[in-house]
């Protein structure tokens, strides 16, 4: 009798294990992963979607020159890596002038939005069927006006530097807002530091390297991005490839 009871317990344990495995499978299949794949694409703006570098540097140079500050090679290399006020503080503007100088520079940026050209194959993004958000160290109004001028109404949200502490924090909050995990997020940028941003978030990095980019291809490759592309035209292929891989893994 004792042996029979032990056999029953073993069978019951095996049955419970099978049920738990099935529950785990269906949970992954029908919960947040019922449509596996890329759920959110976060884009940098300057150099990734818009050809802005030369114009923005020209404007910043003009304002820094009023304080007898010139853009050194180091300042040029880190340009765009942080919100504007942080950057001009780094350049040497006194703290009590940072806000007013930053506002003056942003006003000049905004006034130029009609002169901004989109990067190569920008409009192919429209056909990618997932949520698309711009997170930029530039001014929100500047980005939104530029998009409106381009008639590019296919982004779900625009977050300029006045809306977040840093890009890592911004992307993590977007993940919570849209209930997506980090491996379902792609971050698209054009600078070597964008690889670091994606890595700190835990998401997939796609870096565009061409004449519009703010970092050299050499510097980008040193950071080993997940994907390196020549222009935005191949982004949809990468999204489809990642989504297919995630579907297979279920």
**pLDDT mean over 224-239:** 96
Domain boundaries, the chain: 40-51+117-248, 53-113
Cα–Cα distance for residue pair 83/250, rounded to 1 Å: 40
Asked if residue 26 has pLDDT above 60, the reply is no
Asked if residue 113 has pLDDT above 70, the reply is yes
What confidence score (pLDDT) does residue 33 get? 46
Is 40-51+117-248 a domain of CATH 3.60.20.40? no
Residue 197 phi, psi dihedral angles, 5° rounding: -60, -50
30 — pLDDT class (breaks 50, 70, 90) = very low
**pLDDT mean over 87-95:** 87
2 — pLDDT class (breaks 50, 70, 90) = low
What confidence score (pLDDT) does residue 29 get? 46
Residue keyed to tokens 């690889």: 195
Percentage with pLDDT > 90 across the chain: 63
227 — pLDDT class (breaks 50, 70, 90) = very high
pLDDT digits (tens, 9 = 90+) for 45-62: 999 999 999 999 999 999
**pLDDT mean over 201-226:** 96
pTM of the model: 0.81
Output the DSSP codes for 63-95: HHHTTT----HHHHHHTTSS-HHHHHHHHT--H
pLDDT digits (tens, 9 = 90+) for 145-197: 999 999 999 999 999 988 888 999 999 999 999 999 999 999 999 999 999 99
Q: Which of 66, 51, 55, 54 is nearest to 111 (CA)?
A: 55
């Amino acid at each position: 009798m004792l042996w029979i009871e032990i056999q029953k317990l073993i069978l019951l344990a095996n049955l419970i294990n099978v049920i738990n495995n099935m529950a785990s499978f269906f949970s992954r299949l029908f919960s947040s992963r019922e449509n596996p794949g890329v759920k959110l694409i976060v884009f940098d703006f300057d150099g990734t979607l818009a050809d802005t570098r030369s114009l923005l540097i020209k404007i910043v140079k003009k304002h820094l020159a009023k304080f007898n500050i010139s853009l050194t090679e180091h300042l040029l290399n880190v340009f765009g890596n942080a919100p504007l006020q942080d950057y001009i503080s780094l350049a040497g503007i006194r703290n009590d002038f940072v806000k007013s100088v930053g506002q003056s520079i942003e006003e000049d940026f905004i006034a130029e939005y009609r002169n901004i050209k989109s990067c190569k194959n920008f409009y192919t993004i429209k056909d990618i069927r997932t949520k698309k958000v711009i997170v930029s160290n530039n001014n929100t109004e500047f980005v939104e006006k530029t998009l409106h001028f381009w008639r590019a109404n296919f982004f779900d949200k625009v977050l300029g530097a006045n809306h977040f502490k840093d890009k890592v924090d911004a992307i993590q909050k977007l993940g919570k807002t849209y209930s997506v995990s980090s491996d379902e997020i792609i971050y698209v940028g054009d600078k070597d530091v964008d690889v670091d941003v994606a890595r700190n978030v835990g998401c997939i990095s796609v870096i565009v390297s061409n004449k519009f980019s703010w970092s050299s291809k050499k510097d980008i490759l040193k950071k080993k991005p997940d994907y390196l592309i020549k222009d935005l035209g191949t982004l949809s292929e990468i999204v489809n490839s990642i989504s297919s891989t995630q579907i297979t893994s279920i």
